[in-house]
Structures are given as C-alpha cells and as structure tokens.
C-alpha cells in the first residue's frame, strides 16, 4: 500500500506541476513538435532534437521489461506502455502504482516476448541512445536550452519527464532480474542501473535471457 501511495503521489505532483506551475505555453510549440516529428530540425538546438528522440527510445526500453512484466499482473501493461510513447512517465507511474512485485512468470513465450527479450534489440536501442546523447552533448547550445527550459512548457516538462523515466529504471529492473531467477547472482546489474540511462542500456545488453521454464503453457497449469 505504501508503494501505491508513493507512486500515485509522485504522479499527482507531476500532474499538478505540469498544469499549474510549469512555464506558460509557447505559441511555437506545435510547430516545433511537427518539425521534430518530421525530421525538419534545421535551426533547432541539437540538445532539444536529441532529447525529443530519446523520449521515443526510453519508452521502448521500458517496453522490453514491462510487456513481459504485465503478463503476470492483474492489469495489462500494454496500454500504459503505448501511452508512454506520447506522455512518458505520466503513463507509467500509474502502472507502477497498480502492479505487484513478482518473482516468476507463467505464460507463453510469444514471438513478441522473444523479440523484446533479445540482445539484438537491446544493442540497437543502446546504439541509438548513445548516438543521440553524443549528438546533443557535443553540438548543443546549453545556454539556449536553459532559456527554453525556463520559458517553454513543452521543453520544461519533456526534460523533467526524461529524468523521471531515467530514475525509475532500478524499480522495474529488480523485478525483471527476479523473473529470470537472477536477483542474487547478477545483483551488480541492479546497482549499475542507478546510472541514469546508461545503466539501463548496460542492463538490457547484459541481462540473462528469460529461462524457458518460466514460460509454461497456461493449459498445463
């Protein structure tokens, strides 16, 4: 119950901040989103370009764990994961509040789960994230970014959303290790996950594969 209160509390704080305390809307926000979405990034601060695209990769990183996690929950994780591609942590925090910790999984190891669990996908996502980080940090204008963070609701909330998603990783990673019956043998992976974003990338590339024994057909139970 304490966990539920904490996550719902954080969610309500974010909602309250987003609606009432974040900077005012920038009239150019819609055009900025359209240009970023369509790849028309000329003249846009590379830090913002990088951040916007990382906010597409981060939900995919969560999907590689939460779709599997949701198979053992009373609630379906898929709607929350899909919504996170649009509103980030605002969608995932309610799921974290409603889900229960679990240490084993019974279900079918579908093609989707095999894909999400694959090291190939983890490596591709890691390469994409590292390229975006390098691009933004080496080419970005930090003074301009700070100014826009202070004056644009979109940039302000997107930045806070990014850090929130980075900081939530250790919570789900601990249970993801338990599903693989590796919470003790690979405890170092959990500690590494506390490094924002990079720790999650290391975890996804190094985590042990799901053991077939956990994925028994529902008809056999």
pLDDT tens-digit readout, 73-82? 888 999 999 9
Give the span between the Cα atoms of 93 and 80, in whole angstroms.
9
Q: Helix, strand or coil for residue 99?
A: coil
- Position 133 scores a pLDDT of 96
Residue pair 62/40 in contact (Cβ under 8 Å)? The answer is no
Residue pair 88/161 in contact (Cβ under 8 Å)? The answer is yes
Give the span between the Cα atoms of 193 and 201, in whole angstroms.
8
- Position 175 scores a pLDDT of 84
Asked whether residue 47 carries a pLDDT value surpassing 70, the answer given is: yes
Asked whether residue 20 carries a pLDDT value surpassing 50, the answer given is: yes
The count of other CB atoms within 10 Å of the CB of residue 187 is 12
Residue 77 DSSP symbol? S
Residue pair 215/109 in contact (Cβ under 8 Å)? The answer is yes
**Overall average pLDDT of the 103-123 stretch:** 84
Q: Helix, strand or coil for residue 65?
A: helix
Output the six-digit token pair for 203. 């975890």
Q: Helix, strand or coil for residue 170?
A: helix
Output the six-digit token pair for 155. 């940039």
pTM over 0.75: yes
Percentages of the chain per state (helix, strand, coil), in multiples of 5 = 70, 0, 30
pLDDT band, very low/low/confident/very high, at 214 (cuts 50, 70, 90): very low
Asked whether residue 217 carries a pLDDT value surpassing 50, the answer given is: no
The model's pLDDT over 140-174, given as tens digits with 9 standing for 90+, comes to 999 999 999 999 999 999 999 999 999 999 888 88
The average confidence (pLDDT) of the chain is 88
- Position 156 scores a pLDDT of 95
């Amino acid at each position: 119950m304490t966990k539920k209160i904490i996550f719902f509390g954080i969610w309500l704080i974010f909602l309250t901040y987003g609606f009432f305390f974040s900077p005012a809307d920038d009239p150019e926000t819609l055009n900025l989103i359209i240009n970023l979405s369509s790849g028309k990034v000329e003249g846009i601060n590379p830090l913002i370009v990088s951040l916007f695209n990382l906010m597409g990769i981060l939900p995919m990183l969560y999907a590689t764990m939460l779709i599997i996690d949701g198979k053992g929950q009373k609630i379906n994780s898929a709607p929350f994961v899909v919504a996170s591609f649009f509103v980030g942590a605002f969608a995932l925090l309610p799921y974290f509040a409603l889900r229960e910790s679990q240490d084993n999984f019974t279900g079918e190891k579908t093609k989707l789960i095999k894909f999400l669990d694959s090291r190939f996908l983890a490596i591709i996502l890691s390469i994409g994230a590292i390229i975006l980080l390098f691009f933004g940090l080496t080419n970005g204008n930090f003074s301009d970014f700070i100014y826009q963070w202070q004056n644009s609701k979109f940039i302000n909330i997107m930045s806070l959303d990014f850090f929130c998603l980075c900081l939530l990783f250790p919570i789900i990673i601990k249970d993801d290790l338990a599903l693989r019956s590796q919470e003790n043998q690979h405890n170092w992976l959990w500690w590494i996950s506390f490094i924002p974003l990079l720790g999650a990338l290391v975890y996804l590339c190094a985590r042990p594969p799901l053991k077939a024994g956990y994925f028994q057909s529902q008809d056999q139970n």
